[in-house]
Amino acid sequence: MIIDKLCYQSKLRYVNAGVKLAYSITTLILCIISRSALISCIVIGVNTWLCVCRGGVLMRRFLRLMGIPLAFLLLSTIAILVNISRTPLDAYAIPIGSYFITGSHAGLHQGISLILTALASVSCLYFLSLNTPMTDILTQLRKLKLPALFIELMLLIYRFIFVLTDVASAITTSQNSRLGNRNFKTSCKSFGSLGSALFIRAMKKSDALYDSMEARCYDGTIHVLTENYPAKSSELLLLILYELLLILLMIWRIR
């Protein structure tokens, strides 16, 4: 919900959504293909500057958002960065009895490269989501001739995220007021009740939503109001130059 609020307040909201989508997807693909720490650092720096300096997102809020995937990445790459072995490796070795907590230079390089590549890819998606409303993204997907069913499912799922979040928040508050989470046993019971209640509420709300759509002459297609912001030539030029720079850096790293 915070991300949805920030995208409507962004100073880059009225930049052409097609340009932002092309930038995000192209840069993300180049990050994944290159697996270069240098390119990943450049992408993270540029996306941070675009979101904070140009978009108006607070630095602490952006860093907090980036910290969410970073925590998962550190946990998932710890097996690459840290090894337990009887033989010390070349990067570092901490003796513990007859074993070593150790790592190799190759493992460290691979782990750091993986973390930076993933963070750079996530920053591309954050740039798109923090500066582009969902309706604008779906409009661009329609122009790309994606299946209408796929786009409508995206819209409905996106809508129900907020609906179910509000319901879950209200149920959790009610449970806390009745000491429903005072210990582990009651927390497990409350969580089960929350899940079942959410499932029932979701079914009821989906039926009510379909009835309201039918009452408004739903013909199989969801129509939403869209605004058109033409792409500026300067934005297109900067996009092309930036992507060419990344491609040249990728080729230079390969050589």
Mind listing the pLDDT tens digit for each residue in 165-177? 888 888 888 888 8
In sequence order, what are the residues at sequence separation of 6 or more whose Cβ sits closer than 8 angstroms to the Cβ of residue 134?
A: 4, 155, 158
pLDDT of 237: 92
Model confidence at 255, pLDDT cuts 50, 70, 90, reads: low
Summarised one tens digit per residue, pLDDT across range 190-236 is 888 888 888 888 888 878 877 887 787 777 677 777 777 788 888 89
Residue 40's Cβ-side half-sphere holds a number of Cα atoms within 13 Å equal to 18
DSSP label at residue 102? E
Element (H, E) at 92: strand 92-96
58: pLDDT strictly greater than 70 = yes
Residue 27's pLDDT is what? 93
- CB of 137 within 8 A of CB of 18? no
pLDDT top residue among 219 and 19: 19
Q: What mean pLDDT, rounded, does the chain reach?
A: 84
| Helical residues (DSSP H) of 132-225, grouped into ranges | 134-143, 148-177, 184-215
Residue closest to 4 by CA, chosen among 198, 231, 152, 159: 159
- Summarize the confidence of residues 143-151 as an average pLDDT: 83
pTM across the whole model: 0.79
Residue 166 in contact with residue 142, Cβ under 8 Å?
no
Q: In what order do the strands lie in the sheet with 92-96?
A: 83-85, 99-103, 92-96
